[in-house]
């Protein structure tokens, strides 16, 4: 599922067998190859890459290797828990909506449709987190897609940019978020993709329901 515009930073490299990056928490991200630079790891996908701190990656597995579930780390002692709990996904959605002047129901509905409110969601094509950012798009927006707050902020910022691009036409913006701006331009409107039409309809229904309950 192609999420946020397919613009990747060009990077040179020799084609190699694919592999999986096993992330902290157990999520697995399919990549072409990776390189290490001190405390950073650069992971290549197609013609682009995403760079992150090495601490976010626990292992690399060759494509086709048997899936190994990492052991669950024991819960930290109570004294180690920070005094303020992290914001919930819906709180992050509301904060980003307010910041970029978007309806809260819109950002909440997009987040629900994209990830089911799971910060650890990774799609088969590599879209990451609550707002399902593609690695190249996250890099363009200067966001760490594995950080929930940055993920939601960048997703809402991108959604606001799409609304401005299409003069406030919500369905055009949602179609571009789901299928890419290229598809909207090619069809001069919402592309006739079953997945995209269902995606827009689901978000519109969620928004209508939320607004009717206010």
Give the torsion through C-alpha atoms of 32, 37, 38, 42, to 10 deg: -40
Residue-by-residue DSSP string for 65-122: PPP-PPPPPPPPPGGGS-SSPPPPHHHHHHHHHHHTT--HHHHHHHHHHHHTT-TT-B
DSSP state of 152: H
Residue 150, CA distances (Å) to 11, 72, 179 in order: 24, 25, 22
| 185 among known catalytic residues | no
Active-site option among 19, 51, 61, 114: 114
Catalytic positions: 114
């Amino acid at each position: 599922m192609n999420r946020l515009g397919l613009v990747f930073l060009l990077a040179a490299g020799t084609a190699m067998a694919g592999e999986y990056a096993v992330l902290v928490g157990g999520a697995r991200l399919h990549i072409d190859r990776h390189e290490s630079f001190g405390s950073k790891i650069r992971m290549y996908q197609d013609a682009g890459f995403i760079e992150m701190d090495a601490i976010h990656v626990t292992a690399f597995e060759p494509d086709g290797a048997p899936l190994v579930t990492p052991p669950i780390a024991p819960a930290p002692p109570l004294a180690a828990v920070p005094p303020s709990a992290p914001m919930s996904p819906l709180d992050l959605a509301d904060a980003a909506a307010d910041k970029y002047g978007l309806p809260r129901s819109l950002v909440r509905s997009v987040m629900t449709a994209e990830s089911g409110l799971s910060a650890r969601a990774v799609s088969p094509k590599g879209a990451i987190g609550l707002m399902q950012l593609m690695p190249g798009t996250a890099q363009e927006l200067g966001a760490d897609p594995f950080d929930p707050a940055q993920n939601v902020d960048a997703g809402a910022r991108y959604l606001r940019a799409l609304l401005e691009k299409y003069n406030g036409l919500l369905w055009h913006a949602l179609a571009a978020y789901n299928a890419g701006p290229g598809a909207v331009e090619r069809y001069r409107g919402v592309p006739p993709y079953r997945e995209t039409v269902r995606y827009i309809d689901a978000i519109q229904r969620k928004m209508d329901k939320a607004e009717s309950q206010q």
